[in-house]
């Protein structure tokens, strides 16, 4: 099968997690950059990446990379690309999104318009037509320009991959499913360890952890744009990927995953979301404030996204809230705690400097992933005697 380059965007700071996921799927990495990982695969890889990858926002087929400092260069470079290899005569095509950083071309709407015209001119000469009805399947293009280098990709996913389909109700300031998964995978948590989220909101961290524990692929129950690309990707590739994903699910796994929130209505929403995801039996949700965070067992994990005062009236409550969190952490003295927040005084009021800290952009918001590391559990006797 012909090899192509696929581009997987991710949250800034989570590239290493995504790279590991792609390698685990069996594909070769060709480049790792800020906010994206590029890898080699065949057309079947488009289906498997969409179904199995937890931490990417979408899968793009790399159409090309050109250098453009002027709109003329952008037009000619775009026109030179083999669009007929991807877009059929009746295909609906447009530049769905363009972003530009540190480049001479910076107007998204102008970039989109110029590139669409160039694509039309290319396809006119190939299909010998003056106009296109565009009544067929959709082929949206995404463009990223960095320092005048234009990366052009064909979006195979459609709706962003963070939309797994289970989150019908959300709490204010929810964390995306892809970022939640990436942060869990960034920690040493495994399915046989305890995990508690004391600010669980609509349940994203516990649900993503339960899906990981049950080996449930995030895209096995949803559809992707490329499933309609009869000219390019056989539908059997997606069918095979989803069937394989279904075969790998283990809902009999035993877990200790808990989600707490002070808001009873939000806890109801979290339970409904977990049921929609098919993992409600693997999670215990409870209405409980962070001040009552406790657990009888040792060596557990707290992974959480607490409030960080987006609104001014909330900010005054943060010192007391983070102090309560710190008091609870001290009671769990053998545990490890992982906290993502934009609140810059988090360590001050938690009362402990994080062992590690990573800057992560959650959309356009700069956040910090504070890692308070507990001791490793002693090895089990059977492992020691092996």
- pLDDT tens for 177-215 read 999 999 999 999 999 999 999 999 999 999 999 999 999
- Residue 244: partners with Cβ closer than 8 Å, 6 or more residues away: none
User: Which residues fall within 8 angstroms of residue 311, CB to CB, at 6 or more apart?
Assistant: none
Residue 15's Cα: distance from chain center in Å?
11
Overall average pLDDT of the 327-333 stretch: 96
Answer yes or no: is pLDDT of 386 > 60. no
pLDDT at res. 383 = 44
pLDDT higher than threshold 70 for residue 101 = yes
Retrieve residue 192's tokens: 């046989």
Mean pLDDT, the chain, integer: 94
In the predicted structure, residue 385 carries a pLDDT above the cut 50: no
pTM of this structure: 0.94
Cβ atoms of 257 and 304 closer than 8 Å: no
Burial of 304 (0-12, 13-18, 19+ CB in 10 A): buried
* DSSP letter (8 states) at residue 160: -
d(CA 11, CA 367): 11
| Domains, the chain, with CATH or none | 4-155 (3.30.2130.30), 177-217+232-385 (3.40.50.150)
Helices (H), 26-160: 43-52, 71-79, 108-127
| Least confident residue range of 19-33, 89-103, 224-238, 301-315 | 301-315
pLDDT of 363 reads 76
Dihedral sign for Cα atoms in the order 107, 87, 11, 266: positive
Q: What is the mean pLDDT of residues 332-349?
A: 96
% of the chain at pLDDT higher than 90: 90
Q: Is the pLDDT of residue 19 over 80?
A: yes
Token digits of residue 318: 């943060």
Question: What Cα–Cα distance (Å) separates residue 109 from each residue in 67, 94, 99, 242, 250?
Answer: 19, 12, 10, 37, 47
């Amino acid at each position: 099968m012909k090899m192509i380059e696929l581009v997987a965007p991710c949250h800034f700071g989570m590239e290493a997690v995504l790279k590991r996921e792609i390698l685990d799927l069996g594909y070769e990495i060709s480049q790792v950059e800020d906010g994206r990982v590029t890898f080699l695969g065949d057309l079947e890889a488009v289906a498997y990446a969409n179904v199995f990858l937890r931490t990417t926002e979408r899968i793009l087929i790399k159409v090309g990379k050109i250098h453009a400092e002027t709109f003329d260069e952008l037009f000619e470079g775009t026109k030179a690309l083999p669009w007929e290899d991807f877009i059929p005569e009746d295909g609906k095509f447009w530049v769905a999104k363009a972003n530009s950083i540190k480049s001479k071309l910076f107007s998204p709407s102008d970039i989109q318009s110029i590139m669409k015209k160039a694509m039309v001119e290319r396809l006119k000469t190939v299909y010998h037509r003056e106009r296109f009805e565009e009544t067929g399947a959709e082929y949206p293009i995404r463009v990223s320009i960095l320092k005048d280098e234009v990366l052009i990709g064909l979006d195979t996913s459609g709706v962003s991959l963070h939309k797994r389909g289970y989150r019908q109700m959300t709490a204010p300031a929810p964390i995306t499913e892809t970022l939640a998964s990436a942060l869990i995978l960034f920690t040493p948590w495994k399915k046989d360890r305890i995990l508690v989220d004391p600010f669980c909101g609509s349940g994203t961290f516990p649900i993503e952890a339960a899906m990981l524990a049950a080996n449930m692929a995030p895209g096995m129950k949803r559809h992707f744009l490329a499933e309609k690309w009869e000219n390019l990707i056989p539908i059997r590739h997606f069918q095979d990927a989803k069937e394989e994903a279904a075969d790998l699910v283990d809902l009999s796994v035993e877990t200790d995953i808990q989600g707490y929130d002070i808001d009873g209505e939000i806890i109801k929403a979290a339970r409904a979301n977990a049921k929609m995801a098919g993992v409600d039996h693997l999670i215990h949700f409870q209405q409980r404030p962070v001040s009552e965070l406790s657990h009888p067992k040792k060596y557990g994990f707290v992974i959480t996204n607490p409030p960080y005062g987006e609104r001014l009236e909330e900010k005054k409550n943060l010192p007391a809230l983070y102090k309560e969190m710190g008091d609870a952490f001290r009671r769990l003295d053998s545990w490890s705690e992982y906290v993502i927040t934009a609140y810059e005084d988090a360590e001050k009021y938690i009362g402990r400097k994080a062992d590690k800290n990573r800057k992560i952009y959650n959309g356009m918001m700069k956040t910090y992933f504070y890692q308070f590391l507990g001791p490793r559990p002693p090895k089990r006797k059977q492992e020691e005697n092996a």
